[in-house]
Structure 1
C-alpha cells in the first residue's frame, strides 16, 4: 500500500534506460468540467489485493484524512469553493469488487502492475495552459486475444449448462486482449472520451500505468443522499432494424429485467425501506454504433450511509457479474482465463455530498509495454454462443479503432 503524493508521470523501463513522459492535465471521468484544467494532486492512495485489508474502508479513511469526509452521504453538499480539496478520483478494480463480495479471484491478472484501488485527492491550483507540443510517434501492434472464439463459445455453453442445473440465472462473460505499443499511450487513451455516448469519458494515470474510459454506464451516483444506478443490458447494431429488434427481443428484455431486479436488491441493502423505484425501464440509448437498453433505479440512502458501505453494496456491478451475484462471480473465476483488470470496476469522482462512479465497461488500460482491452456480455439460457462472441467483438471494435488512431463509422457520419 502506497500513501502520499505520487507523480502523474509514466515511466517506461527497458533495456535502453528510462523514458519519462511529460505531465498531462487532470481529466478524471465525472470530475467538474470547470475544474479539470486547474487541479493539482495533493495525496494518493494505491492498494493491491496482496496488501490485505478492506479497500472500501481504506478509501473512506484516506479521504477523511485529507479533508473529504464521506462517512455520511445523506448530508447536504457543501458549497464548492477554492479553499479546500476539490474532490478525488476513485478507481476500484473488478477484482477488488469481487474481494468485497467475498468471491474468489484466482485468474491471473494480465496487467498486474495496475493497482486494485486508487484514490487521488486534488486541490485547486493555477489554471493550466498547454501550448502545442510535438507529436509523439505512436505505434500499436496487433491484438492477441486471451481466448479463441471457440473457447469463448465453449464458456457460453458452460454458463448455459450451469443455468440448466439451477446454479445461476445469468452470468456475464468477459474476454481480454493485449497489444504492444511504442510512444505515449495517454493521448490514445484520452481519445476514448470523445466516443459518442461516453458518459464517463476520461483518463486516470499513475506511475507506469494509465486507464482510459469511454463508459456509458452509471454504477452509482449519490447526491445529497439520493442514490441512482443505471444498469445497461441488451445490445444491437445502431440501425432502425437493430432498434426494433432490441425493443421486441424477449431474451434481451428478460436479461435486462433480471439485472434491474439485482440492482434493486443491491440498493435496498443501503436504502431507506420502501424508497427503491425504477424509472425509464428498458430505454434504448446509443453508444457508438450500438443501441443499448438502460434503466434507472433510484432510492434514498439509509441514515448514516458512508462510502465504504456504498462500495460494498454496489461493487462489482450486477450488469457485469450476473445473478445471483456471488454464484456468478464464482463461475466467472472458473471460466475466464485471465482477470478483468481495469474493466468491470468503478471509476469516477467523489466529494462530500456527491459521488459519481461509472462502471468501467468500454475501458482500456496501459502498462509499460502493453495496451489492454476487455469486452463481453450477459449469458442467459436463450443465448447463442456465436452471437455472444460477435457481440463482444462489436463492443470492443470502436475502442481498438480509436486507440489505433483510426476513425470509426460513427466518427465519419
Structure 2
C-alpha cells in the first residue's frame, strides 16, 4: 500500500482531460472517474482502466472491508470500477462492464490531490503532473438530441394508473428516452457536464464497447464493513419552484414514502433483525435543475454477505422500479418499448479497502462506439399523477443534460 500527498491542483474535469491525453499519448486505456461525493472524497480517478464486458453476477465482486484511514484521511487505494445495467431487456451496451485498477488519484474535501496504490509503486511523474498542473485544453464536441414521443409517455402513465386502480401496483416508475448523436469525445461531454452541473454521484468509464457518462445525484447503496446505506430519491420540482412545496405535496410525499418502505424491505432481506432504520426522511435537496425529496435507509448485514447477494436482494434500485417491485418490473417491460440499458442500473466502485459505493444511473448518457447516445428520463407514477405534469417532470430532469454546452463550441440541440 502506498499513499502520496501531491497537493492542490486542477479541477476533476481538468485532471480527467489531462489523463485522457496521457492515455492517448501512451496508447493506454482511458481513465475512469467518480466525481462528487464518493468515499468521502470529491473525486476518485483511475489514471487508466481496462474496462471490459463481464458477467453481471461478477460485477463489483471484490470484498467490502472496513475503511482504514491514514492520518485521518480515508484510504481507497484501488478496486473495481464499472457498471451494471438495468436487468430487464437487452440494451445497446453490455449488461455489465468494468475493470480493476491498482491505483487512484483522490481529491480530498480540502482540495488536495493524493496518489494511492494497492502496491508499493510510486506515482508516475506524468500522472502527478496531470493532477497538479493539467495542461490539456478542452476539446470541442457537439450533440444533437431528438426528444421522445409525448403521446406514448402519456399513454403509459394512464396505463400505470389503470394498474394502480386494479390493485396490481401502488406505484411504478415510467421512463422514456432522448436519443442523440455526438460529434467529438464522450469524455469531453462528461468533463463539461461535471463542471456545469456539479452532480454528487457522477461517474465515467469507457471501453471498446462504448462509454457511460453518469451525472447522477442519487446513491443506490454504500457498504462499509457491515453497514449498508441507501438514499432513494422520489419527489421532484424544478429549481424555479418553492422547495417547501415538496414537503406539503401529498403526491410527492406518498411517492417517496412508498419507495422508502420498498428499500426497507429490500435491505431487510439481508439485514440483521432489528437493524433496518430510516435515518433521514423527506429531506429536500437540490440537484441539477430540480429539487428532490431524499430519504436515507440504513441497516447492518452479516460480514459474509457478498456483492452478488446484495444485488439479489435490492437490484434494480427501488426508486426506478415500483411497489411491489416484481410486478412493477413486469409491467414496465410491457409499457416501455425500448430497454433501459445502463439507465436505471448502477455505476460505481468496489474497493477491498474502502468498501462499495454505487449510484443510481439516472441523468446518465450511454454512448455506442459510433457516437450514438441515449438519455433516459422518468418519474414515479401514483394514482394522483397528471400525465402532463409527469411529462414536464421528464423535461425538467433532462434539461440539465440536453442543455450542456461544450467549453469551446456550441452544442447542436433540438429542443423538445
Same fold by TM-score, threshold 0.5 exceeded?
yes
Q: Matched residues in 1 for 2:401 and 2:76: separation?
A: 36
Change (3 A) 1:34 1:297: closer
Match of 1:343 in 2: 343
For the pair 1:372 / 2:374, whether they are aligned, the reply is: yes
Match of 1:92 in 2: 84
Q: Matched residues in 2 for 1:306 and 1:403: separation?
A: 41
Match of 2:34 in 1: 28
Match of 2:252 in 1: 252
For the pair 1:190 / 2:191, whether they are aligned, the reply is: yes
Change (3 A) 1:250 1:33: closer
Q: CA RMSD in A?
A: 3.0
Shift of 1:148: 1.2
Contact 1:40 1:123 in 2 (8 A): no
Contact 1:347 1:360 in 2 (8 A): yes
- In the alignment, which of 392, 395, 411 is matched to residue 393 of structure 1? 395
Q: Matched residues in 1 for 2:46 and 2:261: separation?
A: 41
More strand by share: 2
Match of 1:5 in 2: none
Shift of 1:28: 3.3
Match of 2:176 in 1: 175
Shift of 1:132: 3.4
Q: Matched residues in 2 for 1:219 and 1:196: separation?
A: 20
Shift of 1:198: 1.2
TM normalised by structure 1 equals 0.78
Contact 2:233 2:295 in 1 (8 A): yes
Match of 1:66 in 2: none
1:29-68, aligned counterparts within 5 Å?
29=35, 30=38, 36=44, 39-41=47-49, 44-47=51-54, 55-56=56-57, 58-59=58-59, 63=61
Contact 1:180 1:369 in 2 (8 A): yes
Shift of 1:276: 0.2
Q: Matched residues in 2 for 1:44 and 1:55: separation?
A: 14
Unaligned runs of 5+ in 2: 1-18, 21-25, 104-122, 412-416
| Structure 2 counterpart SS, 1:28 | strand
Match of 1:268 in 2: 268
Q: Matched residues in 1 for 2:288 and 2:169: separation?
A: 31
Show CA shifts across 1:284-342 (max 9, x none). Answer: 00012311000010001124111110111121001000010011111110111111122
Q: How many residues align?
A: 357
Change (3 A) 1:391 1:384: same
Q: Matched residues in 2 for 1:298 and 1:36: separation?
A: 24
Contact 2:186 2:213 in 1 (8 A): no
Change (3 A) 1:35 1:277: closer
Contact 1:272 1:303 in 2 (8 A): no
Q: Matched residues in 2 for 1:276 and 1:407: separation?
A: 49
TM normalised by structure 2 equals 0.78
Q: Matched residues in 2 for 1:389 and 1:407: separation?
A: 27
Contact 1:401 1:407 in 2 (8 A): no
Match of 1:231 in 2: 232
Contact 2:140 2:188 in 1 (8 A): no
Unaligned runs of 5+ in 1: 1-7, 10-19, 48-53, 64-68, 99-104, 409-413
